[in-house]
């Protein structure tokens, strides 16, 4: 059976590498954006280093031993890569490529123009502002259905909740639920996106700052 699965595992590594090697596993995320363009993006939860996960699964990375190509060595590389980001904190390796992470960034979107979690080459969730149209697009990473199948078949998945809090005019969204949020102002609403697994439609929202 492993021999039959091996081509699938190799293909999974290749396809995930095209869109980054980090996958949210279980998480709680929140974006706040007000009419002035001030934003806050917060992620807290567990992620998977898919290359480490697959390397351990197919035996190319040896568990727990020291030296080049070992799990301990790969975890050091992982920690270095994550902690070089000033927005990241509370990194902690769990096992099998899973690690915990808190990430927070805030500022003026009109100045920044775009914000990406985790970074541009590891796009998981992004906010982009077009100064000509004054439109803001919030979009999660989109994967082809075939790639989702491969990820799930390999033993990985993604679940959590995303909340977008805003007092601006929302043009479109695909949230599961919308609630008033008077604690942040009479016009403020919270848009709740529940993600039970990878097959949930990619979270998206379009906002006008006019």
Q: Is 101 helix (H, G, I), strand (E, B) or coil?
A: strand
- Say what the pLDDT of residue 20 is: 60
pLDDT in tens, 98-133: 999 999 999 999 999 999 999 988 999 999 999 999
Q: Which two tokens stand for residue 186?
A: 């009479």
- Per DSSP, the three-state class of 141 is coil
Total of domains in the chain? 1
pLDDT value of position 6? 38
Q: Which residues, given as ranges, of the chain have pLDDT below 50?
A: 1-19
Q: What is the DSSP string of 93-134?
A: EEETTEEEEEEEEEEEHHHH-EEEEEETTEEEEEEEEETTTT
Residue 170 sits in a domain of what CATH number? 2.60.40
Closest CA relative to residue 137, chosen from 164, 161, 111: 164
Is the model's pTM score more than 0.85?
yes
The per-residue pLDDT for 189 is 98
| 146: containing domain | 2-208
pLDDT at position 9 is 36
C-alpha count within 13 angstroms, C-beta hemisphere, residue 154? 32
For residue 120, the model assigns a pLDDT of 85
């Amino acid at each position: 059976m492993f021999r039959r699965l091996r081509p699938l595992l190799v293909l999974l590594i290749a396809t995930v590498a095209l869109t980054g090697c980090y996958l949210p596993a279980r998480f709680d995320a929140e974006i706040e954006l007000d009419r002035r363009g001030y934003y806050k993006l917060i992620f807290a939860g567990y992620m998977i280093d898919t290359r480490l996960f697959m390397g351990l699964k197919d035996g190319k990375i040896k568990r727990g031993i020291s030296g080049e190509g070992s799990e301990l060595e790969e975890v050091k590389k992982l920690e270095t890569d994550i902690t070089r980001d000033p927005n990241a904190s509370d990194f902690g390796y769990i096992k099998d490529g899973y690690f915990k992470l808190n990430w927070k960034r805030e500022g003026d979107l009109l100045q920044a123009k775009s914000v990406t979690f985790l970074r541009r080459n590891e796009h998981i969730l992004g906010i982009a502002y077009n100064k000509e149209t004054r439109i803001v697009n919030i979009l999660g990473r989109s994967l082809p259905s075939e790639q989702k199948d491969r990820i799930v078949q390999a033993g990985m998945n993604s679940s959590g909740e995303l909340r977008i809090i805003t007092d601006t005019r929302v043009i479109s969204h695909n949230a599961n639920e919308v609630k008033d949020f008077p604690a942040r102002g009479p016009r403020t609403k919270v848009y709740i996106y529940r993600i039970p697994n990878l097959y949930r439609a990619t979270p998206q929202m379009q906002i006008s700052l006019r």
